[in-house]
Amino acid sequence: MYSDAMSTSERLIDATRELLWERGYVGTSPRAIQQQAGAGQGSMYHHFAGKPDLALAAIRRTTQEMRATAGAAFGGDGTAYERIAAYLLRERDVLRGCPVGRLTMDPEIIADDALRAPVDETLDWLRERLTDIVQQGLDRGEFATHVVPREIASAVIATVQGGYVLARASGSPEAFDAGVRGLLSLLAPPAGSR
């Protein structure tokens, strides 16, 4: 599963990321992490103080990856609408759900300030980036004048996260796609502004 070039600490972080996504914090035991990473107990505790420390490293890596992926869509060429569309339409494993959104549903992570912090910071970052993009579009006349940038940013995030939930519940990515298409149709620039 892991390349020989990958360090033990990297394997442990990757294994923890996967297990947190699949099983949540309680279901991610140190033994399961070690087995998935192909690492011994001594290696795990050599690199990390314990499960919370390793979970924090894994959560940070997951949130960094989300920021990089979203940032790539937001940083592309095009109008504000096109950049938001690039984010909404990017390829995702919809039926698996969002690795960051999954963390918000985990009571142990939400109850722990240190584990919750990277999740909060990433969702705040996402909301701010989207708010800025919508404001740019509004300033350029790309959106209807009644649009409130922060509210649209929150609607974009809610559509993505809710789309994951609907897709998982129905067992079909169509539910996610329908939500995205619906939001994009509501955000479509007024005629003649493109």
Q: At what angle do helices 174-187 and 80-89 cross, to 10 degrees?
A: 170
Q: Is the torsion defined by CA of 82, 130, 93, 67 positive or negative? A: positive
pLDDT tens by residue, 27-68: 999 999 999 999 988 888 898 998 999 999 999 999 999 999
pLDDT tens string 102-140: 999 999 999 999 999 999 999 999 999 999 999 999 999
Question: How many structural domains compose the chain?
Answer: 1
Q: What is the CATH number of the domain that holds 52?
A: 1.10.357.10
Asked if residue 2 belongs to a domain, the reply is: no
For residue 136, being part of any structural domain is answered with yes
pTM of the model: 0.89
